[in-house]
């Protein structure tokens, strides 16, 4: 241990509760803030020990000044140790407190940290207390972004009797978000290992293993400040970091020795298993990510180091690590032939695929192999049991991804300059598991788009695209200079995306085959291909480090902002063209923007960013509400203007859509507005589209003569007396509503009043039957006048030409002619989850694939995955906004408690009920009547019963249909006012005489 020289001042007589060891090296600027954060703790009886690792700047002066406070002492090491270990150990030696904590000079503690640690330590008797660390990223403009470190361990206060209660906690290797009982450190001689990097890993592991009790608290204790430097341009060269890797592995070997001793002493073997899994899932991936982008020597040594270490890892760890792709990489490094100093081995491509996926997790990068209904990363090593387990990636679900929704890797294979600004870009896109059949018709385009705000984009048709083995190979000639015109300054880096459209070859029935859609992926590469060098000289000498391809550029802001395109690979492995400056004028202009700090232009940029942040206050909803109430509602009403909204702006659908269409046809004189929540795609182009909660939305509502929607406009907006609010609602209710709903009954006065105010804005309310009047209008206590005309959206279900409409819709959707179309529309289950059908889709496809077609229409908040083998008989149409169209195109309905039954009954086609979880459903909310008793169709609860019912589906109008009467009674009771003329009635009541020209 190096000798230490001290300038200690007299410290308080009482034993401090906590000793905070602040380590510093050449950080005079930030040290005061760190120490200040400790002196301002709510816990006052503590001491600060500043340990200076022999700084050479003004740190000693600053520290001595801070040490004038009686609670602060200052220690200076005789020589620089180059790490954190020696300073921290010196701090432990000098500490007098009951507890010890560590703080780096550029970080801060939360003001309650020490009191929380001490209170928890006293209550639990723990040796080690850990809290939440927040990583605070500070960018050049001073804007911070807080990310918690391992939050999942700190959701609830928790006391562990030992690390084996939660072995995953080993992942939290920080020593700074923790508080240690000093006696515990002394008893077990716990110190930081000197002369190593990653000393925290060893210290933490030893502490966890030795601790008699560990307490976890949900409080934030530590702020780890990270200054985000200038954006990375390319993947960094790790050549000089091989030493770091050796250190990391050496530390892990030391930890393994400690673990072996721990197990010999009766410790739980699961701890080592979790540590091994963590190594694979975390430590290994740090190096695997950019391994293919390094040079051969580094790759060879890295591979050897990992292979040797992974040989000591327990094979079960491969099974419990949940980072599947990392497990693949680990196995290949351990048992495969990846690379030597001479060059890559047969498993190299698979490792490259692992790295590419680690960089961008959504990319499908490997040539998957299917065997025995399981999917593997590669076809090699499947004869070994561990290989089969490690390379099994079925759970990733890549085999289920649709062609147009999968991010299939597009790799660059060729890049050459053809002279005159023209380049030939060639590449290949993965055709995973033969998703695109060999005879499919292909076409492709290349998109050139800047990485930052996409102001402009350019498309170039790809001249050649074809199948080649298991790849789709393409090649395009582009005149880069003339075709791609950047603005200059703000769009310097341009990415290239390859979009391939595939369609199955001419199908058995009409027209072309099924459209598989368009897959698009950003082109990636580990290196620029041979031939990508020089401007037009095409020397092709194949040297990897040759000058990258350069082509003249003509930005719109003239050559003063840049004049060359340079091909390259960015830090995420993507193939990019960067606009660079070659001529002196351009260099002078763009240079300040490149610099990390300083310069008036950069300060201006930061000021703009901070101002932009502050201006966000204008979107404050309270201000919007105030301005609406005080100013906007006093504006004159615009005659004839109508604002439509459906499902809070989610889609263009339901009753408002049909009313709008009728109005539009009618030639209504007056502005028609449609509200959208996220995207205006799918909304009619001839209406004025306004985004929900935007200023134009508020203006439109304030001045509208009519409000028409099916759920409720924002409840903070009052309705003027001059506006008529027609509430069309979205369906007859089976679940209890209003005062019959326990959740509403449990509301407190002000919430209840708010609901009443919101609902009393309705002037008219569409109903289909007296049942609706009772369950909707009366239960909510609405004052609205019931409009007993039925729903405009159901008019087409009762129209004379509905069969013809149905046929047209089927053709439009592309359904095969000879199949019975069954609409499966279950009710909403739980939000944001994958919808589980409750019966086996693959079995359905097997038994009914030739004769039936199943349309799944789940709630828009649920996602549906249709397995590949069922795709010819099952379609997911949950994204289709208009259910009425799906009803018209169908022959039968399968559902459980969805309110679609009330509408489908009008259609008078067979209904089958499939409700496997009746009890759980009725527990939560309650229904107005027992559907099972009154169901207008067969009630099934098991898959076999459902399939039997489907087999026995009668044709429409079959007089032998046992449920025909029931269905008609059901339709009459719940749709007594439906005549098929709801739209007409509505127009007549409110909009007669409003046509243009009157």
Partner 1 sequence: MTDATVAEVVVPVSGGSQPRDVYIVCNTIDEVGGVQRWARRMAELFTDRGHRVHLVGVFAVAKPHDFFPGGEQPAYATAVLHPDRFGAPGKPYLVRRLTHPAVFLKYKRWLKIRRVGVNRLSALFAQSPASGVVVCAQIQAMEWVAQADKHGMPVIGISHESYAASRASTRYGRVRRYYAGVARFLSLTEEDATAWTRDGGMFNTGSMPNPLPFPAKGGSDPAAKVAVAVGRLSYEKGYDLLLDAWSKAAAGRPDWTLKIYGDGPERERLTEQAAALGVAGSVQFMGATNEVAEAMNGGSILVSASRAEGFPMTLLEAMACALPCVAADCAPGVRELVRPDLTGYLAPPGNTDILAERLGRLMDDQAARERMGLAALSRVEAYGPEEILARWETVFALVHR
In the complex, the residues that contact partner 1 under the rule CB under 8 A are 17, 42-45, 110-113, 115-116, 118-119, 122-123, 125, 155-158, 218-221, 622-623, 626-627, 630, 741-749, 751, 923-924, 926
Residue 95 or 359: which CB sits closer to partner 1?
95
| Cross-strand pairs, 451 | none
Lookup: tokens for 206: 């030893």
Least Cβ distance, residue 138 to partner 1 (angstroms): 19
Least Cβ distance, residue 832 to partner 1 (angstroms): 18
81/153 Cα distance (integer angstroms): 33
What are the Cα distances from residue 556, in Å, to 482, 561, 566?
11, 9, 17
Residue position matching structure tokens 């099952």: 874
Residue 538 or 926: which CB sits closer to partner 1?
926
Least Cβ distance, residue 291 to partner 1 (angstroms): 38
Counting every residue, how long is the chain?
A: 998
Residue 106 or 219: which CB sits closer to partner 1?
219
Least Cβ distance, residue 220 to partner 1 (angstroms): 6
Residue 549 or 734: which CB sits closer to partner 1?
734
Residue 616 or 923: which CB sits closer to partner 1?
923
How many C-beta neighbours within 10 Å does residue 347 have?
A: 19
Q: Which of 247, 190, 178, 250 is nearest to 214 (CA)?
A: 178
Least Cβ distance, residue 617 to partner 1 (angstroms): 9
Residue 789: burial class (beta carbons within 10 Å; 0-12, 13-18, 19+): buried
Tell me the torsion sign for CA atoms 614, 615, 616, 619: positive
Q: Which of 673, 682, 768, 676 is nearest to 723 (CA)?
A: 673
635/945 Cα distance (integer angstroms): 62
Q: 442 with 433: CB under 8 angstroms?
A: no
761/713 Cα distance (integer angstroms): 10
Least Cβ distance, residue 37 to partner 1 (angstroms): 13
819/830 Cα distance (integer angstroms): 32
Residue 413 or 716: which CB sits closer to partner 1?
716
Least Cβ distance, residue 839 to partner 1 (angstroms): 30
Residue 45 or 918: which CB sits closer to partner 1?
45
β-pair type (724-727, 764-767): parallel
- Residues in CB range of 870: below 8 A, 6 or more apart: 841, 842, 844, 845, 849
Lookup: tokens for 546: 């040759």
Lookup: tokens for 387: 């290989």
601/430 Cα distance (integer angstroms): 44
DSSP annotation string for 693-743: TSHHHHHHHHH-SEEEESS-S-TTSPPPTTSEEEE--S---SB--GGGSHH
- CA-derived radius of gyration, the chain: 34
What are the Cα distances from residue 166, in Å, to 174, 208, 830?
16, 10, 30
Least Cβ distance, residue 43 to partner 1 (angstroms): 6
Least Cβ distance, residue 212 to partner 1 (angstroms): 15
Least Cβ distance, residue 142 to partner 1 (angstroms): 21
What letters, b where the CB count within 10 A reaches 16 and e where it falls short, cover 658-669?
bbbebbeebebe
Residue 631 or 879: which CB sits closer to partner 1?
631
Residue 49 or 221: which CB sits closer to partner 1?
221
How many C-beta neighbours within 10 Å does residue 129 have?
A: 27
Residue 40 or 253: which CB sits closer to partner 1?
40
Residue 469 or 926: which CB sits closer to partner 1?
926
Residue 216 or 333: which CB sits closer to partner 1?
216
How many C-beta neighbours within 10 Å does residue 496 have?
A: 24
Least Cβ distance, residue 32 to partner 1 (angstroms): 20
Residue 752 or 964: which CB sits closer to partner 1?
752
Least Cβ distance, residue 118 to partner 1 (angstroms): 7
53/35 Cα distance (integer angstroms): 16
* Distance, CA of 544 to chain centre: 37
Least Cβ distance, residue 166 to partner 1 (angstroms): 14
Lookup: tokens for 470: 């298991």
**Terminal Cα-to-Cα distance of the chain (whole angstroms):** 98
- Residues in CB range of 351: below 8 A, 6 or more apart: 288, 291, 292, 329, 332, 333, 336, 338, 339
Least Cβ distance, residue 17 to partner 1 (angstroms): 6
Q: 819 with 872: CB under 8 angstroms?
A: no
Lookup: tokens for 116: 């929380």
Residue 388 or 925: which CB sits closer to partner 1?
925
Least Cβ distance, residue 213 to partner 1 (angstroms): 12
For 563-688, where are the alpha helices, taking DSSP H only? Answer: 584-594, 600-615, 621-630, 654-666
Residue 113 or 476: which CB sits closer to partner 1?
113
977, 959, 809, 796: CA torsion to nearest 10: -10
Residue 97 or 568: which CB sits closer to partner 1?
97
Residue 232 or 619: which CB sits closer to partner 1?
619
Least Cβ distance, residue 745 to partner 1 (angstroms): 4
DSSP, collapsed to helix, strand or coil, labels residue 448 as strand
Least Cβ distance, residue 116 to partner 1 (angstroms): 7
Lookup: tokens for 310: 């992974």
Least Cβ distance, residue 901 to partner 1 (angstroms): 24
Residue 220 or 520: which CB sits closer to partner 1?
220
């Amino acid at each position: 241990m190096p000798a230490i020289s001290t300038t200690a001042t007299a410290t308080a007589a009482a034993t401090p509760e906590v000793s905070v060891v602040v380590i510093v090296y050449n950080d005079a600027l930030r040290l005061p803030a760190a120490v200040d954060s400790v002196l301002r703790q709510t816990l006052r009886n503590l001491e600060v020990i500043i340990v200076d690792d022999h700084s050479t700047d003004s740190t000693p002066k600053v520290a001595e000044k801070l040490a004038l406070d009686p609670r602060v002492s200052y220690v200076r090491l005789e020589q620089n140790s180059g790490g954190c270990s020696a300073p921290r150990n010196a701090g432990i030696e000098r500490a007098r407190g009951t507890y010890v904590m560590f703080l780096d000079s550029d970080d801060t503690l939360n003001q309650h940290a020490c009191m929380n640690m001490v209170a928890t330590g006293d209550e639990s008797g723990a040796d080690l207390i850990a809290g939440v660390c927040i990583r605070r990223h500070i960018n050049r403009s001073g804007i911070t972004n807080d990310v918690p470190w391992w939050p999942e361990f700190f959701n609830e206060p928790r006391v562990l009797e030992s690390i084996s209660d939660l072995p995953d906690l080993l992942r939290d290797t920080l020593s700074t978000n923790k508080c240690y009982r000093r006696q515990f450190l002394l008893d077990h001689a716990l110190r930081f290992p000197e002369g190593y990097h990653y000393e925290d890993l060893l210290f933490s592991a030893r502490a966890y293993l030795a601790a008699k009790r560990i307490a976890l608290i949900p409080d934030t204790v530590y702020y780890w400040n990270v200054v985000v430097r200038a954006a990375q341009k390319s993947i960094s060269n790790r050549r000089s970091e091989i030493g770091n890797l050796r250190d990391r592995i050496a530390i892990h070997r030391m930890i393994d020795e400690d673990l072996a001793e721990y197990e010999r002493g009766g410790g739980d073997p699961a701890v080592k298993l979790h540590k091994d899994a963590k190594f694979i899932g975390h430590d290994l991936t740090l190096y695997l990510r950019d391994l293919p982008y390094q040079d051969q020597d580094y790759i060879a040594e890295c591979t050897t180091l990992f292979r040797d270490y992974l040989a000591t890892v327990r094979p079960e760890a491969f099974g419990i690590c949940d980072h599947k792709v990392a497990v693949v990489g680990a196995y290949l490094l351990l048992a495969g032939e990846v690379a030597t100093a001479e060059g890559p081995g047969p498993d190299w491509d698979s490792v490259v695929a692992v790295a590419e996926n680690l960089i961008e997790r959504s990319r499908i990068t490997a040539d998957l192999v299917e065997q025995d209904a399981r999917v593997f990363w590669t076809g090699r090593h499947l004869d070994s049991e561990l290989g089969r387990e490690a390379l099994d990636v079925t759970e990733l679900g890549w085999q289920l991804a649709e062609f147009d929704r999968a991010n299939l890797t597009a790799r660059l294979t060729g890049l050459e300059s053809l002279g005159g600004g023209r380049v030939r870009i060639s590449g290949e896109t993965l055709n995973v598991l033969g998703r695109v059949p060999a005879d499919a018709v292909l076409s492709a385009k290349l998109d050139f788009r800047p990485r930052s705000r996409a102001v402009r984009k350019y498309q170039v048709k790809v001249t050649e695209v074809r199948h080649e083995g298991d790849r789709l190979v393409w090649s395009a000639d582009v005149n880069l200079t003339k075709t791609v015109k950047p603005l200059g300054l703000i769009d310097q880096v341009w990415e290239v995306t390859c979009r391939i459209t595939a369609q199955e070859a001419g199908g058995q029935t009409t027209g072309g085959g099924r459209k598989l859609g368009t897959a698009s992926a950003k082109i990636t590469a580990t290196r620029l291909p041979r031939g990508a060098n020089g401007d037009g000289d095409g020397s092709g000498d194949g040297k990897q480090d040759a000058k990258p391809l350069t082509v003249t550029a003509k930005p719109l802001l003239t050559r003063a902002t840049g004049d060359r395109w340079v091909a390259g690979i960015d830090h995420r492995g993507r193939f990019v063209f960067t606009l660079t400056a070659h001529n002196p004028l351009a260099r002078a202009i763009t240079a300040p923007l490149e610099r990390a700090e300083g310069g008036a232009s950069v300060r201006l940029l930061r000021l703009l960013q901070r101002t932009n942040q502050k201006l966000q206050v204008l979107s404050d909803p309270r201000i919007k509400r105030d301005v609406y109430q005080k100013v906007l509602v006093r504006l004159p009403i615009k005659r004839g203007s109508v604002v439509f909204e459906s499902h809070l702006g989610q889609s263009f659908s339901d009753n408002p859509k049909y009313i709008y269409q009728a109005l539009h046809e009618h030639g209504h004189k007056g502005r028609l507005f449609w509200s959208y929540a996220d995207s205006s795609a799918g909304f009619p182009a001839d209406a004025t589209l306004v985004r929900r909660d935007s200023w134009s939305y508020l203006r439109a509502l304030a001045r509208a003569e009519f409000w028409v929607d099916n759920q409720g406009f924002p409840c903070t907006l009052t309705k003027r007396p001059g506006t008529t609010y027609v509430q069309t609602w979205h369906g007859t209710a089976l679940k209890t509503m209003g005062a019959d709903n326990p959740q509403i009954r449990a509301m407190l006065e002000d919430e209840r009043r708010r609901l009443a105010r919101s609902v009393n804005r309705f002037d008219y309310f569409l109903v289909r039957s007296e049942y609706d009047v009772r369950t909707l209008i009366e239960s909510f206590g609405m004052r609205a006048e019931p409009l007993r005309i039925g729903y405009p959206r159901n008019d087409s279900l009762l129209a004379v030409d509905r069969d013809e409409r149905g046929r047209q819709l089927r053709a439009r959707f592309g359904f095969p002619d000879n199949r019975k179309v069954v609409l499966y529309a279950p009710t909403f289950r739980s939000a944001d989850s994958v919808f589980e059908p409750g019966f086996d889709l693959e079995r359905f496809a097997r038994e009914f694939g030739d004769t039936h077609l199943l349309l799944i229409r789940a709630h828009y908040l649920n996602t549906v995955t249709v397995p590949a083998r069922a795709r010819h008989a099952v379609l997911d149409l949950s994204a289709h906004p208009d259910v009425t169209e799906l009803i018209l195109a169908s022959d039968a309905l399968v559902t459980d408690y969805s309110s679609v039954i009330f509408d489908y009954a009008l259609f008078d086609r067979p209904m089958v009920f499939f409700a496997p979880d009746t009890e759980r459903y009725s527990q939560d909310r309650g229904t107005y009547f027992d559907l099972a008793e009154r169901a207008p169709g067969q009630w099934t609860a098991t898959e076999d019963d459902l399939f039997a019912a489907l087999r026995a589906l009668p044709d429409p109008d079959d007089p032998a249909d046992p449920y025909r009467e029931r269905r008609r009674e059901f339709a009459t009771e719940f749709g007594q006012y439906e005549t098929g003329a709801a739209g007409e009635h509505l127009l007549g009541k409110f909009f007669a005489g409003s046509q243009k020209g009157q």
